[in-house]
């Protein structure tokens, strides 16, 4: 199975900060990568698919980039509603779906 590794595990930031989360795949997944946001007690929510495509209704301050094995999720200006845990996920056709371990974005 393809292993996904996120960094950092926890990130402390302030409202208005630019935040970047990194996700690495154990082998190339082309652009078959999604990002999800999860708030406490809630289900995950899709933010980004195909590495850089913004899901409908998701604020434009969220952006994704990368291909192959290295990917990033960027929040251009952190808002109070963005404090949550973020997961990357690969959906390469010939491998079971796997997630990163998560990155918790906390208030500094």
Partner 1 sequence: EVQLVESGGGLVQPGRSLRLSCAASGFTFDEYATHWVRQAPGKGLEWVAVISWNSAGIGYADSVKGRFTISRDNAKNSLYLQMNSLRPEDTAFYYCVKDNQRLAQGGYFQHWGQGTLVTVSS
Interaction site with partner 1 (CB under 8 A) = 32, 34, 36, 42-46, 49-50, 55, 87, 89, 91-94, 96-102
Minimum CB distance to partner 1 smaller for 36 or for 71: 36
CB of 67 to partner 1, least distance (A): 16
Closest contact distance (angstroms) between CB of 41 and partner 1 is 9
How far is Cα of residue 61 from the mean position of the Cα atoms in its chain? 13
Residues in CB range of 43: below 8 A, 6 or more apart: none
Toward partner 1, which CB reaches closer, 14 or 43?
Answer: 43
Residues β-bridged to residue 20: 74
Minimum distance, C-beta of residue 23 to partner 1, in the bound complex (Å): 13
Residues 28, 4 contacting (CB under 8 angstroms): no
Task: Pick between residue 28 and residue 77 the one whose CB is nearest to partner 1.
Answer: 28
Residue 77 DSSP class = S
Q: How far is CA 16 from CA 42, 75, 83, 91, 101, in A?
A: 24, 9, 12, 32, 25
CB of 15 to partner 1, least distance (A): 26
């Amino acid at each position: 199975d393809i292993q996904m590794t996120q960094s950092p595990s926890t990130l402390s930031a302030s409202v208005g900060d630019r935040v970047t989360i990194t996700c690495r795949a154990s082998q190339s997944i082309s652009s078959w990568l999604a990002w999800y946001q999860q708030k406490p007690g809630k289900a995950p929510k899709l933010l980004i698919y195909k590495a850089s495509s913004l899901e409908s209704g998701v604020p434009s301050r969220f952006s994704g980039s990368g291909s192959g094995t290295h990917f990033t999720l960027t929040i251009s200006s952190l808002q109070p509603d963005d404090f949550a845990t973020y997961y990357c996920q690969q959906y390469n056709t010939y491998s079971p779906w796997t997630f990163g371990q998560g990155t918790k974005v906390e208030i500094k």
